Amino acid sequence: MILLVGADGQLGRELSASLGLLGNLSRWTLDNMDLADPNLAEKLKRVEFPKLKAVVNAAADTAVDRAESEEDVAYRVNAEAAGLLAALAERHGAAFIHYSTDYVYDGMKSGPYTEEDEPAPLNAYGRTKLAGDRLVAAACPRHVIFRTSWVFSQTGVCFPRTVYNLAKARESLEMDCTQRGAPTSTELLSAATLLALRGVMGLGPAAWGLYHLVSSGEATWLEFSRRVVSKALELGLELKLKPGAITPRDVPDASRPAARPLNSLLSTGKAEETFGLVLPNWTYYADRFVEGLRYQASLG
Query: Torsion angle, CA of 147/151/153/155, rounded to 10 degrees?
Result: 110
Q: Which of 253, 292, 289 is nearest to 160 (CA)?
A: 289
DSSP letter string, 237-284: ---S--GGGEEEE-S--TTSSS---SB--B--HHHHHHHT----BHHH
**Residues annotated as catalytic (active site), given as ranges:** 125
Query: If you compute the radius of gyration of the chain from its CA atoms, what whole number of angstroms results?
Result: 19
CA distance 261 to 258: 10
- Spatial contact of 139 and 92, defined as CB atoms under 8 Å apart: no
To which H or E segment does residue 14 belong? Answer: helix 10-18
CA angle 116, 218, 253 (to 5 degrees): 95
Distances (CA, A) of 121 to 23, 49, 99, 137, 183: 37, 36, 16, 18, 20
Query: For residue 296, how far is the Cα from the chain centroid?
Result: 23
Question: 52 near 1, Cβ under 8 Å?
Answer: yes
Residues whose CB falls within 8 Å of the CB of residue 285, separated by 6 or more in sequence, listed in order: 152, 183, 184, 185, 187, 188, 215
**Cβ atoms 101, 126 nearer than 8 A:** yes
Using CA atoms, how far residue 294 sits from 17, 133, 154, 164, in Å, is 21, 38, 11, 11
Cα separation of 255 and 291, whole Å?
33
